[in-house]
Amino acid sequence: MKYAAAVLVGRGVRTLARLRKRGGGSAVPGLVVNRIAPRFLADTLRSFPEGLVVVSGSSGKSTTTKMLVAVLDAHGRRVFTNPSTANIAQGLTSALLERTSLAGRIDADVAVLEMDEAHGARIAPDLRPKLSVLTNVMTDQIDRFHDSEQVARHLRTIATSTTDAVVLNADDGFVAALAGEIASRVRVTRFGVTDTVLAGLPRGLGTTRTSDARTTDGLIITAVGDRTATVSWAGESAEVGLPARGVHYAVDAAAALAGAATLLGDAFSLTTAVAAISAMPPVFGRGEVLTVRGREVEFVLVQNPTSFQLNVDHLPEELDQVLVAMGSDVRDPGYFWPVDARRLRRVHTVTGSKAPEMALQLEYQGVPVQKVSTDLPRAVDEFLALPEPVAGRKTIVFTADPMRRIRAHLGLHS
């Protein structure tokens, strides 16, 4: 019961924070508890009977985590996980406070946590995860990660802190290279795509550096459809439904399936696993389609140039109504200039605090923009009030900051 006081204080802070701001209090309780009980986070996360699983990398963390949780749940495991917005230390602690007992224990078999690369590297040596799933290294958040080698170093720290097994992306050069360093002391499982799938992607998979030693063992994607993929594992093949369009979602599924197979061993069923993923709804904003104010809207989150490119490349060619929102999370709008957005053809509204810069990029690429507004709530309201589109559905493409603002404005929940 050494953490009883810290848990009670944390819950009290959470209540006060939520009274002060509706929907708030996600980080402050964690900050307070981590200050007064520095060992709470590590001790709680190391208490699960089947251990701790960490998912990290530049892109795909949220979807991979949700898929892995769905697969483990389908296999009868009780899983504790964190919201995708709580992937740093204080957020993780706040998430634990939602379920922990006064003794600092959670009634679950295993924890599966999405972790920010830098914060994950900072706490992984103390957490000693049983299994880590590492997705990729991309040019991402240039205000935090100045170069790809920095991200690769963070993932290396997570990998070398893992005790039992590491699941690696065989198609990412930085991630695949970790195998040689860790294979002597932990099990290594790989996931990836076949040469045929890769050849069908003119821009590749978007990773910073393609692996020099791509492999055909492990969990392999052998074909990708509109919202389906064919996977191969241990001589068995199956088709898995994807929550959204694009080969990047197929790769997320491969990572989750490889993670589950590695953790569960002989108890893993590919049939059970693909059924669980196929029934899973999209993570908020990742190709999610919702009815909002009587209008069907698809939400598409773009977090870095590769994410933007892959998502745009997989949108339907004929879209009559598109809103693009770029916010304060993009410190330098030039970050997205390498993205070829011509597939959008035309954009009705560009909004967010960086709307003029985003509109300029689109106009330079020959994509006409009908309206530019920095008033995000008003722009969204007016966009939703438009008559039904002639082609396709209303589509909102946003970066992380406007995603959060639009979600709050529309009263949506992840």
Give the tens place of pLDDT for each residue, 152-205. 899 999 999 999 999 999 999 899 999 999 999 999 999 999 988 888 876 777
Instruction: Report the first-to-last Cα separation within the chain, whole angstroms.
Output: 33
What H or E segment, with its residue span, contains residue 299?
Answer: strand 295-301
**pLDDT level of residue 368 (50, 70, 90 thresholds):** very high
User: Nearest Cα to 399, choosing from 383, 382, 376?
Assistant: 376
HSE-CB for 2 with a 13 A CA cutoff: 8
Beta bridge mates, 241: 228
Tell me the mean pLDDT in the region 16-36.
70
DSSP for 97-132, please give it.
Answer: HTT--TTS--S-SEEEEE--HHHHHHHHHHH--SEE
**How high is the pLDDT of residue 135?**
94
**How high is the pLDDT of residue 140?**
56
Assigned token pair, 177: 């290279």
Cα distance between residue 175 and residue 251, in whole Å: 14
Position with higher pLDDT, 139 vs 317: 317
Reported as a single tens digit per residue, the pLDDT across 211-259 is 665 666 799 999 999 889 999 999 999 999 999 888 889 999 999 999 9
**In percent, how much of the chain has pLDDT > 90?**
55
CA 362 to chain centre: 26
Question: Identity (one letter) of the amino acid at 251?
Answer: V
Assigned token pair, 273: 């696993």
Cα distance between residue 113 and residue 131, in whole Å: 11
Question: Identity (one letter) of the amino acid at 151?
Answer: V
DSSP 8-state assignment for residue 391:
S
Tell me the mean pLDDT in the region 120-143.
85
DSSP 8-state assignment for residue 139:
S
The neighbour count for residue 329, using CB atoms within 10 Å, is: 18
- Tell me what the pLDDT averaged over the chain comes to: 88
Q: What domains can be seen in the chain, in order of their start residue?
A: 47-278 (3.40.1190.10), 286-410 (3.90.190.20)
In this structure, are residues 249 and 47 in contact, taking their beta carbons and an 8 Å threshold?
A: no
What H or E segment, with its residue span, contains residue 229?
Answer: strand 228-233
Cα distance between residue 98 and residue 27, in whole Å: 12
| Three-state secondary structure call for residue 241 | strand
Is it the case that residue 356 has pLDDT exceeding 80? Answer: yes
HSE-CB for 333 with a 13 A CA cutoff: 15
In this structure, are residues 313 and 203 in contact, taking their beta carbons and an 8 Å threshold?
A: yes
Cα distance between residue 138 and residue 353, in whole Å: 25
Is it the case that residue 23 has pLDDT exceeding 70? Answer: no
Tokens 């749940």 label which residue?
Answer: 73
C-alpha distances (whole Å) from 312 to each of 231, 252, 372 are: 24, 18, 20
As a whole number of angstroms, the longest Cα–Cα distance in the chain is 64
Is it the case that residue 139 has pLDDT exceeding 70? Answer: no
Tell me the mean pLDDT in the region 68-77.
98
Position with higher pLDDT, 24 vs 309: 309
Is it the case that residue 108 has pLDDT exceeding 70? Answer: yes
What H or E segment, with its residue span, contains residue 95?
Answer: helix 89-97
Is it the case that residue 266 has pLDDT exceeding 70? Answer: yes
Assigned token pair, 171: 């198609």
Cα distance between residue 315 and residue 391, in whole Å: 12
Cα distance between residue 46 and residue 208, in whole Å: 33
